[in-house]
Amino acid sequence: MATLNAADQKTQHGFVYLLGSVRAADRRTYVGWCVDLDQRLFAHNAGRGARSTRGRFWVLLYAERYETRREAMSREVSLKRDRKFRATLALLLEAQTAPLG
C-alpha cells in the first residue's frame, strides 16, 4: 500500500458543486466536481470552464465537501440526474435576480 506525502493528503478531498446562471428568461444550472471551489468558479466565469458554461456569468448555488475525489464524482452523477433539485435551486436564483417592482 502506497503512502501519501503531505501535499497529496491535502488534495485528496473533493467538492461537488451546482452553479446557476440567468440570462433574460433563460436559466441554467451546471453540476461539476473539483478540489478548489473558488478557482473553479473563477475558471467558469473566465471562459475556461466546461464548454457549456462559456459566455455566461455563474454563481455558486450549492456545494458539498467529500473526503475523497471518488465520493465527489459519484455525488456529481447523482446531482446531474436530480433535475427537481436543480430546478428548485434555479428558481431561487431567478427570484434573487428578478427586479423589484
Give the three-state DSSP class for 62: strand
Predicted pLDDT of residue 72: 96
Predicted pLDDT of residue 99: 57
Q: Hey, what CATH class is 12-97 in? A: alpha beta
Angle at 64 between CA 30 and CA 62, to 5 degrees: 45
- Which residue reads 436530480 in cell numbers? 82
Predicted pLDDT of residue 51: 84
Per-run averaged pLDDT (10 residues), the chain, 101 residues? 49 90 82 95 90 89 95 96 90 68 51
